[in-house]
Amino acid sequence: MPSARVHRISANAPDDFSGLEAAIDAGAIDPASIIAIFGKTEGNGLVNDFSRALAVEALRRLLHGHLADLAVRAVCTVMSGGTEGGMAPHWLVFERRPGDAEDFPGAALAVGRAHTTQLPTEHLGRIDQARMVAEGVATAMKDAGITNADDVHFVQIKCPLLTAKRIRKAEASGKNVVIRDTLKSMGWSRGASAIGVGPALGEIDHALVTEGSILNDRSLWSARASASAGIELLSHEIVVLGMSSAWSGPLAIDHTVMADGIDVGPVRDTLARLGADPGQPSHKGKVVGLLAKAEASTDGILRGSRHTMNDDSDISSTRHARAFVAGALGAVISHAELFVSGGAEHQGPDGGGPVAIIVQREKLCP
């Protein structure tokens, strides 16, 4: 019976994996059992965010010291740029270990992954991308040993974006792209990815997902999809997190949805369901990871008042939203080593987003 382990490791820079290295040296992490690494890196989280690629380069250099190239490539690396506000850059390392002696009754955190093939440039932001992601989610669920989609609590997708050069190349061969604006292409890629997760998890009716619904029909959303676009890949990396009785160990995950950027009530409730009392400052040790999506509502309104995130031409609304939501969530869990990712198209309702929390359960005395 496998057991998932999750390590949250602080990063001093986008290429700082000294904490991971130390954990490997100390035997706390076995490189061969790493299946995915998520990272919050300190770039702008937009098109020209090279902190993500730098992290991938440095991570692979480290892993190549321990693993064969094929095994290195198999590790899902989901680098999410943008640590606005007080958010702390960090890594979340997911291991799949043989079952622990220290077991818990019932289900435990299960982790699965999938890599898709390269996405043709002209498919980005279109139904083809949604389908490719849906297949990837099915593969990752299988990899996690989760058969019931209700047991999935989070699907993290790293998806590509368009650059001027990629657009030029596609157009030179007679293709047309969904949008020529590179920054906007990130939203199209995230949106098509997320709208592909919905049907895969039974949240959205397959029939409703059409070419025209992407970025248009905001009533279609997944409560568990989290997509992050980056310049550093051309395919998708998909990681499914859920609960499974085929897995053992002290970790558990649950999720909820924030209706807007300050809707922390459901997050407190989720912490309570997981046995992590938000009123206690000591619960920092119990919350292993908090993953959330943040975005500005498209109508420019928050709780009846006007916000200015969509009218600010100096700072992207995703950067505003990450800082804002990190403040709201940091105040709940009393620290800011949070995985808040920006741009939540079809990920939660307009202006809101999914939140997943992984906790370390305490062993009850017999």
- Catalytic residue positions, numbered: 158, 228
79/266 Cα distance (integer angstroms): 26
Distances (CA, A) of 105 to 77, 122, 133: 31, 48, 33
By the rule CB under 8 A, 321 interacts with a copy of itself: yes
Q: Which of 24, 100, 77 is nearest to 230 (CA)?
A: 77
| Segment 192 to 221, residues that bind a copy of itself, using CB under 8 A | none
Interface with a copy of itself by CB under 8 A: which range of 18-26, 67-75, 136-144, 180-188? 180-188
The reply to whether 261 sits near a copy of itself by the rule CB under 8 A is yes
Residues 150-169 that bind a copy of itself (CB under 8 A): 163-165, 167-168
Contact stretch for a copy of itself (CB under 8 A) within 67-75, 181-189, 199-207, 358-366? 181-189
Of 123, 127, 122, the C-alpha closest to 213 is 127
Q: Which stretch binds a copy of itself (CB under 8 A): 122-130, 189-197, 255-263, 270-278?
A: 255-263
Kindly state the number of chain residues that form the binding site for a copy of itself, as judged by CB under 8 A: 81
Can you tell me the distance from the alpha carbon of 91 to that of 140, in angstroms, rounded to the nearest whole number? 21
Q: Per-residue x/- marks for a copy of itself, 101-140, CB under 8 A?
A: ----------------------------------------
Our finding on whether 308 is near a copy of itself (CB under 8 A) is yes
**Which H, E and C letters describe 27-76, residue by residue?**
CCCCHHHEEEEEEEECCCCCCCCCHHHHHHHHHHHHHHCCCCHHHHHHCE
**One character per residue 30-49, x = contact with a copy of itself (rule: CB under 8 A):** ------------xxx-xxxx
Q: Give, in order, the Cα–Cα distances in Å from 269 to each of 115, 276, 278, 334.
A: 34, 10, 9, 16
Polymer length of the chain: 366
Binding mask 228-247 for a copy of itself (x = CB under 8 A): ---x----------------
Phi, psi of 20 (to 5 degrees): -65, -40
271 is a site residue for a copy of itself (CB under 8 A): no
Distance separating alpha carbons of residues 224 and 186, to the nearest angstrom = 19
Q: Does 349 bind a copy of itself (CB under 8 A)?
A: no
Stretch that binds a copy of itself, among 192-200, 269-277, 317-325, 357-365 (CB under 8 A): 317-325
In 3D, which of 124, 3, 17 has the Cα closest to residue 77? 17
x-marked contacts with a copy of itself along 63-102 as a string, rule CB under 8 A:
--------------------xxxxxxxx------------
Least CB distance to a copy of itself at residue 90 (A): 7
Question: Which of 123, 320, 348, 349 lies at the binding interface for a copy of itself (CB under 8 A)?
Answer: 320
Angle (CA) 55 69 23, round 5°: 55
Q: What tokens were used for 109?
A: 């955190």
- Three-class DSSP category at 360: strand
Select 143 or 350, whichever has its Cβ closest to a copy of itself: 350
